[in-house]
Structure 1
Amino acid sequence: MSASHNHSHSHKQLNYNRAFAIGFILNAGFVVVEATYGFLTNSLALVADAGHNLSDVLGLVLAWGASFLSQRPPTKRYTYGLRRSSILAALLNAIILLLVMGGVAWESIRRFSNPSPIPGNVVIGVAIAGVIINTITALMFLSGRKRDINIRGAFLHMAADAMVSLGVVLAGVAILTTGWLWFDPAISLIVVAVVIINSWQLLWESLNLALDAVPIGIELLAVRTYLSELPGVIEVHDLHIWGMSSSEVALTAHLVMPNGHPGDAFLAKVVQELHDIFGIEHTTIQLEIGDPNNPCVLAPQNLV
């Protein structure tokens, strides 16, 4: 049994340090302003939005830290580096956001039975500022949201915040127009529903990546078919595809080639095509000739 390895390291890590820094400063400052006005005016919508924004500030810090750690070089202890930290950050972001929204929903339901008067003009003014700040921050992460689940987590948080703040604006307008105080907790519940819907996919996708599931957008059967149709390959087994980080995909596979090692040019071509066709960045291939006297112990599909 012979083993051949070829790896692609051409992938450039997304660097959003400037976006994270600007987003953190803008949102942390806004949380202080919004929470202060929320408590002074007794507005649940503002306090809820401030709490949500606070969770997003923490989320930005997590995503920022993970983005930095994922670019650290490998060590003797961590041979893949700390790339996986970006997946863990995305998972923690989704969990924190869902927990915060659960608390907001509980308080909103409680407030229905005892609504409090709020000055709608103050609510509208603060929330409009929130729409502007969150939209600016979200746009800074727009370009990387499809390539990196960690960046997408930051984008979804900010985009959801913009919608949340817009909802608060609507609550203020409704209260000024009708005088119906229940609009405040009602808008809060709508906000909670929007945020949960936007966060649920992030939760499951990051959880799946943490459990080494095949990343979304890659079809395992298509990769297997591509490998099995390579010249000289009669069998493919022990095929695994998983996320090394929130933006990098790894693959390992055993190819049975009775005619022996086809040369490094063959491996280089396979690595490049796996990158170009499927977006797989890190490929390791083991070549076997299929000697019946020395069968591969990992050939059965039920073995890992």
Structure 2
Amino acid sequence: MHAPHDPGHHHDHGHGSSHQHGPSPGSSTRAFATVTLVNLAYTVLEAGYGFLTNSLALLSDALHNLGDVLGLALAWGAAAMAQWPATERHTYGWRRATLLSPLANATLLVGLSGALAWEALRRLSAPPELPGMTIVVVATIGIAVNLGSALLVQGGHGHDLNRRGAYLHLLADAAISLATVVAGIGMLAWGWTWLDPATALLVGVVVAVGAARLLRDSFDAAMDAVPTGIDQAAVRTFLAAQAGVDSVHHVHIWSLGAGEVAMTAHLVRPSGDDDDRFLHDLGASLAARFGIGHATLQVERSGAACGGHEHDGGVPARE
């Protein structure tokens, strides 16, 4: 971390050099490529049997899986774009593509869930006769495909919204396939053909709920909200407790995409000839304690240069 001195303005700037990342970009791209192709193959298989047997449960799940394949393809493309180097115009590179991908994915799934629910309600009054065993076999394959795919993208999903969106959808797909298996067993054992459209309706509800949550989280990320899992108040308190810091203001925390978090902050530190070491150690602490890998910290000798701290929730240091 470097803190060049500016005698005219009495403040220093520091940039965090400690970064925390999830899995390597290359492994992320390979995982998305594999999951996308495997799920595309299964979607084609499921849709074929759905048309062959006239099963709305299989067709609705295939339509849902097609939406996920498109979402996975978006995530695959975003993971690849995240590896593109920074340019003079795109100084952070293309990592934010991993924030826009789940936003498009969620919007797509909301539309698909509405179509599934509409067709399911239409069929509830007159469900057709269906071969339960075929539905059970195909849906069982779906459970294996979705759980295996979820394991491939599991690494780093806690802090990478792109992976998290794919991971949660694959788990939901596995649960939906399980529900389809149960419906098939019910049709085989008791002839309950109404289970087919009822299962499709359940699929629509599950997809809508999951998509709404993903839509909210991805919209927040696109609007530079503080990432989930980081308490901004705790970060402010931590900064204010540092040696020689009188107060903290202009604190902003946001996601850069690809699991990387950035932050800027102004620290009022009236005296100190160790600013370089102070900023270096503080950047490492922010990365280790809060997962903030790209910290830009400005040291000021007086907060008056920025017009005070009250307007942005400045935090005074503890006595």
Bin of the TM-score, shorter chain as denominator length: over 0.9
Over residues 23-49 of structure 1, what are the superposed CA-to-partner deviations in whole Å (9 max), with x where a residue is unaligned?
A: 122111111111111111111000001
Over residues 182-233 of structure 1, what are the superposed CA-to-partner deviations in whole Å (9 max), with x where a residue is unaligned?
A: 1111111222223333333322111111111111111111111111111111
The reply to whether residue 296 of structure 1 matches residue 306 of structure 2 is yes
TM-score by length of 1: 0.94
CA spacing shift, 1:106–1:24, aligned 2, 3 Å: same
The reply to whether residue 163 of structure 1 matches residue 175 of structure 2 is yes
Structure 2 portions without partners, runs of 5+:
1-8, 314-319
Hey, what does 2:208 align to over in structure 1?
196
The reply to whether residue 117 of structure 1 matches residue 126 of structure 2 is no
The reply to whether residue 230 of structure 1 matches residue 246 of structure 2 is no
Q: Relative to structure 2, which stretch is displaced further, 214-223 or 110-119?
A: 110-119
Which of 269, 288, 295 aligns to 1:283? It is 295
Q: Is the 8 A contact 1:260 1:289 kept in 2?
A: no
Q: Relative to structure 2, which stretch is displaced further, 153-162 or 283-292?
A: 283-292
2:244 partner SS: coil
How many residues were matched structurally? 301
Q: Compute the displacement of 1:134 (Å).
A: 1.0
The reply to whether residue 135 of structure 1 matches residue 144 of structure 2 is no
The reply to whether residue 5 of structure 1 matches residue 14 of structure 2 is yes
Tell me, in whole angstroms, the C-alpha distance in 2 between the residues paired with 1:193 and 1:117: 24
Hey, what does 2:4 align to over in structure 1?
none
Hey, what does 1:173 align to over in structure 2?
185
Hey, what does 1:104 align to over in structure 2?
116
Q: Compute the displacement of 1:136 (Å).
A: 0.8
Q: Compute the displacement of 1:65 (Å).
A: 0.8
1:48 partner SS: helix
Q: Relative to structure 2, which stretch is displaced further, 88-97 or 38-47?
A: 88-97
The reply to whether residue 263 of structure 1 matches residue 275 of structure 2 is yes
Hey, what does 2:255 align to over in structure 1?
243
Q: Is the 8 A contact 2:71 2:105 kept in 1?
A: yes
Over residues 81-134 of structure 1, what are the superposed CA-to-partner deviations in whole Å (9 max), with x where a residue is unaligned?
A: 111110111111122122211110111111112311111111111111111111
Q: Is the 8 A contact 2:150 2:167 kept in 1?
A: yes
The reply to whether residue 93 of structure 1 matches residue 105 of structure 2 is yes
Structure 1 portions without partners, runs of 5+:
none
Tell me, in whole angstroms, the C-alpha distance in 1 between the residues paired with 2:157 and 2:236: 27
Tell me, in whole angstroms, the C-alpha distance in 2 between the residues paired with 1:82 and 1:168: 39
Q: Compute the displacement of 1:8 (Å).
A: 2.6
Tell me, in whole angstroms, the C-alpha distance in 1 between the residues paired with 2:271 and 2:62: 66
Q: Is the 8 A contact 1:156 1:199 kept in 2?
A: no
CA spacing shift, 1:259–1:167, aligned 2, 3 Å: same
CA spacing shift, 1:154–1:202, aligned 2, 3 Å: same
Give 1:69-88 correspondences, 5 Å limit: 69-88=81-100
CA spacing shift, 1:84–1:215, aligned 2, 3 Å: same
Q: Compute the displacement of 1:13 (Å).
A: 5.1
Tell me, in whole angstroms, the C-alpha distance in 2 between the residues paired with 1:124 and 1:296: 66
1:240 partner SS: strand
Greater RCO (Cα-Cα under 8 Å, separation 6 or more): 2
Hey, what does 1:220 align to over in structure 2?
232
Q: Compute the displacement of 1:155 (Å).
A: 0.8
Tell me, in whole angstroms, the C-alpha distance in 2 between the residues paired with 1:20 and 1:246: 13
Over residues 159-184 of structure 1, what are the superposed CA-to-partner deviations in whole Å (9 max), with x where a residue is unaligned?
A: 11111111111111111112122111
Tell me, in whole angstroms, the C-alpha distance in 2 between the residues paired with 1:42 and 1:66: 36
Tell me, in whole angstroms, the C-alpha distance in 1 between the residues paired with 2:71 and 2:192: 34
Hey, what does 2:29 align to over in structure 1?
17
Q: Compute the displacement of 1:291 (Å).
A: 6.7
CA RMSD of aligned residues (A): 1.7
Tell me, in whole angstroms, the C-alpha distance in 1 between the residues paired with 2:278 and 2:303: 21
2:311 partner SS: coil
Tell me, in whole angstroms, the C-alpha distance in 2 between the residues paired with 1:218 and 1:288: 25
